Structure 1
Amino acid sequence: MKTRMRLFYPLLIALVLAAVTFAYAAANTVPASSAGDGSNTISGYTVSNVHYVLDTTNPSVISAVEFTLSGANTPQTVKIQLVNGGDWYSCTLSLSTYSCNVGGAVSAYDAAYLRVVAAQ
């Protein structure tokens, strides 16, 4: 009987401690929040109707670039680059055409390509 009592009291103490710990943890409140993890395919945009606007006083420089983008969503940020490693120019949407003011900073000779970056 003494050996049963020796096992009973430690087991009883462990159960009481577990119940108190559970009750304390259940009393904690955590504010609602959101978290997530996932992946999705990055779909591209199709650039079309590209129009280079030459400066009216010096037609050897580009003053703006205009084009349309088609894709699943309307991008929030659109920028272009006309010279490899050169400056990036922000674009704005008006109706369905994006217009990027270059301000005559790029000569028509130096504009080697049109790089368009668009993101939601």
Structure 2
Amino acid sequence: MFHLRIPSKRLIGMFGLVLLLSLAAYGFAAANTVPVSSAGDGQNTISGYTVSSVTYTLNSTTPSTIDSVSFTITPAAGGNAPANVKAKLVSSSSTWTSCTNTSGTTWSCAPSGGVSASSADELRVVAAQ
């Protein structure tokens, strides 16, 4: 013969409380909003910014040395212009050069002492608001 156990009122009450707390937590998490921003890092297309119009300036006395690089940074739709931009030209290097906004969306980076053109194997740009 089978006996059916009916849960106690205490167990049903605890289950109801857990359910209520779960729904409240879900509601608070769903209410979080994050403002639109632009940020990115990588060697391929990044959704936060588009880097274009890249120009390298060679040293006038030693043209095998890159004195600076300039480029245009365009934020994705709805994104803000970057406030901090850094770049590096040698993939194996851990040295990042701070860039300066020269006008509008144009930025310029001048690595200290320049970079040998033969060792420059990438242009990696990190931009943030």
What range is the shorter-chain TM-score in?
0.5 to 0.7
2:116 aligned partner:
107
- The 1-side partners of 2:99 and 2:123 are apart by 13
Unmatched tracts of structure 2, length 5 or more: 1-31, 39-46
Q: Which has the higher strand share?
A: 1
TM-score, normalised to structure 2's length?
A: 0.59
| Runs ≥4 residues deviating over 3 A | 37-43
- Between structure 1 and structure 2, the one with the greater Rg is 1
- Whichever residue aligns with residue 74 of structure 1, its letter is A
- Specify the alignment match of 1:117 in structure 2: 126
2:110 aligned partner, one-letter code: N
- Cα deviation for residue 105 of structure 1 reads 2.9
- Distance of 2:34 and 2:103 partners within structure 1: 31
Counterpart in the other structure of 2:56: 52
User: Given the two structures, how large is their TM-score scaled by the length of structure 1?
Assistant: 0.63
- Which structure is richer in relative contact order (CA contacts within 8 A, separation 6 or more)? 2
Superposed CA RMSD in Å reads: 1.8
Q: Does 1:64 align with 2:92?
A: no
Task: Please give the alpha-carbon distance, in whole angstroms, between the structure 1 residues aligned to 2:111 and 2:59.
Answer: 10
Shift of 1:85: 3.3
The reply on whether 1:92 has 2:115 as its aligned counterpart is no
Cα drift, residue 115 of structure 1: 0.2
Which ranges in structure 1 are unaligned for 5 or more consecutive residues? 1-36
| C-alpha distance in 1 between matches for 2:128 and 2:33 | 18
> 1:40: Cα distance to partner?
5.6
> Any idea what the Cα deviations from partners look like across 1:36-64, whole Å, max 9, x if unmatched?
x6546655100000000101110001000
Aligned residues: 84
Q: How does 1:1-16 map to 2 (within 5 A)?
A: none
SS in 1 for 2:118: coil
Q: Which one-letter code corresponds to 2:85 in the other structure? A: V
Measure, in 2, the Cα distance between the counterparts of 1:63 and 1:103. 8
